[in-house]
Amino acid sequence: MDKKDYLSSLETLFYLTEQQVAVIETTDRITRITSTVAMSSMAPILLSGANPALIWCLLNLMQIFYYLLLINVEYPWNVKQFLGIFSMGRFQFLPNPVSWITPKLEEEAIETPYRFSQADMNSLFLLSAGETLLIWLLTLFFFLFFIWSCPTHG
């Protein structure tokens, strides 16, 4: 007889009362609104001439908090909900230019780890980070545009 090892995991089920669910949903709604306001306040900050490093720090923090979900640890439901709020830092609401340039790239994808597939991330970097690359390209484009359009002061 062959000895076979099986690996399985069990998730702990937590019972939440209706009052606790209502509090969690209200807190989730409030933090999503706060996150949206924080992200939408970036445009006036940029237009007012503030240091763009502040915006990059905000985006960096949002990504760090969101990427905590990718660690191979089973978080409680409320922690998952809280960390999921920071998914705005992934810019999924923007189009992915990499999928326009190479539409057959998705066929080359390999199997993603469990946590990454739960977060709707692809195993290929270009498909997962295309939105961020778009932000970098737009920033570079506008920077070069303003450099070339402004007269030099001698």
pLDDT of residue 12: 60
Cα separation, 131 vs 93, in Å, equals 8
pLDDT of residue 94: 72
pLDDT of residue 3: 64
Domain ranges of the chain: 15-90, 92-154
Per-residue pLDDT of the chain (154 residues; tens, 9 = 90+): 456 666 666 566 667 788 888 887 888 788 778 777 777 777 777 677 777 777 778 778 888 888 888 888 888 877 887 887 777 767 766 777 777 777 776 677 677 777 777 777 776 776 777 777 787 788 888 888 888 887 765 4
One-character DSSP codes across 4-68: -------PPP----HHHHHHHHHHHHHHHHHHHHHHHTHHHHHHTT--HHHHHHHHHHHHHHHHG
pLDDT of residue 14: 66
pLDDT of residue 7: 60
> At a CB cut-off of 8 Å and minimum separation 6, what does 14 contact?
76, 77
Q: What is the pTM of this model?
A: 0.55
